Structures are given as structure tokens and as C-alpha cells.
């Protein structure tokens, strides 16, 4: 269905991967072209004036414009995990762009591509789209879910509206799991030990210097 969001409809249902070549928000610190991901259950509106920053889940910069070689985008969705990788440097190497867990998408949806332009014109050609079905083992509880009736959603610890401008486009904060707490405590303990050793050495040298004066 055509519409104002890069040629497609707004308030859509499902997943959208945006390849934005031009910044509408002059205050942004992001480097364009910019790739971002958005999951919508029909209640969210894409804000072009802010380049979709308030509803973006994650993103990255990718120099895919005006290249003399083919550029590639790989989108993988498996067991609630969405990953997006790029190959835009003609090195035949995939580079990580987006990695989000907790994504829930229903079955029975369609794949599509659209484009739109504003005051500046641009020309991009989609040569091909290759689709693959991944064969993976699912938990037993997933077998009781009717995946055709679930609502598109993402289980995040923070709202996309809390996303601040980050040149990489990714959320840098995350949950303090057990091993993270352990590492923080270990670093703090090592810091205290180092400070204590340095303080003892400095104190000893001062004592020796005072004895020389006497």
C-alpha cells in the first residue's frame, strides 16, 4: 500500500528496514546514508522530520550511495532475534549493523520494497531479493502459540523514545546481568588495590626523603 513513509503506508503492521540517504533533521549527529529498523503494530507514526529517531529500534551508517559496485543487505530473523548486516565496500565481507533480541513478528505477512524522494532526487536499483526459510529448533512453549494472530512487538528495557543521537544508532545501555556486575566489582576492587599500592609507594618514598633531610 503506497503512502508517505518512503513510498509506503504509515501506521503499518510488521517490520520495516529503512535505507535513508538524506538527513531531514539538521541537528542530527548521524552520518547518512543511514539504515534503521522499526517494528509497528499500527499505533506508531514515522516522523520524517526527525528521520524516524523516536521509533527506531537500532541502526547504523552505511556508505551505500553512488557506488560503482553492487551493495548488499542481509536481514535475518530467527527465534525472536533480528540481525541486519551490510556488504557495501565490495570486499565480500558482511559487517554487523543491527542486532536486536525480543522481536515478535507474526506469520502470513508480505515482503515488499518501496522508495520515495523529496526535494532531492536519487536513483537506486533493487537487482534481486533472495528469501530463505531457516530451519531451527523452537522451544516447546512456542508450539502452542498461534503465530498468525500475535501483534508485532519488541520487548525492550527502554522505549525507542529514550533513544538519543548516537552516530552508530545503537542502544549502548543494557541490563546489568550477573557477569557485568561481577566485572564492575572486579574492576572497582582492582582500582582500589592499585591506588593503595601507589599510595604506599609514594608514602614510603616521602618517608625516606624526610630521613635524608634529618
Residues 64-114 have pLDDT tens digits of 988 999 999 999 999 899 999 999 999 999 999 999 999 999 999 999 999
Asked whether residue 33 is domain-assigned, the answer is yes
Considering only residues 90 and 145, tell me which one the structure prediction assigns the higher pLDDT: 90
| Residue environment code for 35-65, b if the CB has 16+ CB neighbours within 10 A, otherwise e | bbbbbbbeebebbbebbbbbbbbbbbbbebe
How much is the pLDDT for 212? 53
Same domain, 92 and 182: no
How much is the pLDDT for 88? 95
Asked whether residue 160 is domain-assigned, the answer is no
pLDDT at 161 > cutoff 50: no
Backbone CA torsion sign across 112, 75, 47, 119: negative
Asked whether residue 167 is domain-assigned, the answer is no
* Mean pLDDT over each residue of the chain, to the nearest integer: 84
**What is d(CA 145, CA 155) in angstroms, rounded to the nearest whole number?**
17
How much is the pLDDT for 76? 96
Asked whether residue 4 is domain-assigned, the answer is no
The number of distinct structural domains making up the chain is: 2
Q: What is the DSSP string of 154-169?
A: E--SS-GGGPPP-TT-
**What is d(CA 38, CA 8) in angstroms, rounded to the nearest whole number?**
13
How much is the pLDDT for 179? 62
Q: Kindly report the CATH number assigned to the domain that includes residue 30.
A: 2.60.120.200
pLDDT band at 2 (very low <50, low <70, confident <90, very high): very high
Same domain, 77 and 32: yes
Residues 169-214 have pLDDT tens digits of 443 334 445 666 777 788 888 888 888 888 888 777 777 666 554 4
Residues 15-74 have pLDDT tens digits of 999 999 989 998 888 899 999 999 999 999 999 999 999 999 999 999 998 899 999 999
pLDDT band at 147 (very low <50, low <70, confident <90, very high): confident
Asked whether residue 22 is domain-assigned, the answer is yes
**What is d(CA 108, CA 118) in angstroms, rounded to the nearest whole number?**
32
Asked whether residue 165 is domain-assigned, the answer is no
Judge if pTM exceeds 0.75. Answer: no
Q: Which domain holds residue 120?
A: 13-154
Amino acid at each position: 500500500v503506497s503512502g508517505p513513509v518512503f513510498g509506503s503506508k504509515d501506521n503499518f503492521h510488521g517490520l520495516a528496514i529503512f535505507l535513508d540517504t538524506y538527513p531531514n533533521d539538521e541537528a542530527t549527529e548521524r552520518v547518512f546514508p543511514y539504515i534503521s529498523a522499526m517494528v509497528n503494530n499500527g499505533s506508531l507514526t514515522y516522523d520524517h522530520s526527525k528521520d524516524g529517531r523516536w521509533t527506531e529500534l537500532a541502526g547504523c551508517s552505511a556508505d551505500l550511495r553512488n557506488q560503482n559496485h553492487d551493495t548488499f543487505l542481509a536481514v535475518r530473523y530467527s527465534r525472536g532475534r533480528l540481525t541486519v548486516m551490510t556488504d557495501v565496500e565490495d570486499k565480500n565481507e558482511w559487517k554487523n549493523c543491527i542486532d536486536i533480541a525480543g522481536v515478535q513478528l507474526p506469520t502470513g505477512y508480505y515482503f515488499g520494497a518501496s522508495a520515495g524522494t523529496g526535494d532531492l532526487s536519487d536513483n537506486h536499483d533493487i537487482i534481486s531479493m533472495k528469501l530463505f526459510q531457516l530451519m531451527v529448533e523452537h522451544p516447546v512453549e512456542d508450539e502452542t502459540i498461534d503465530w498468525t494472530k500475535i501483534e508485532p512487538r519488541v520487548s525492550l528495557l527502554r522505549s525507542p523514545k529514550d533513544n538519543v543521537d548516537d552516530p552508530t544508532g545503537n542502544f549502548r545501555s543494557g541490563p546489568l546481568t550477573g557477569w557485568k556486575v561481577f566485572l564492575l566489582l572486579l574492576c572497582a576492587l582492582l582500582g582500589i588495590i592499585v591506588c593503595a599500592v601507589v599510595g604506599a609507594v609514594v608514602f614510603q618514598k616521602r618517608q625516606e626523603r624526610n630521613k635524608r633531610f634529618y
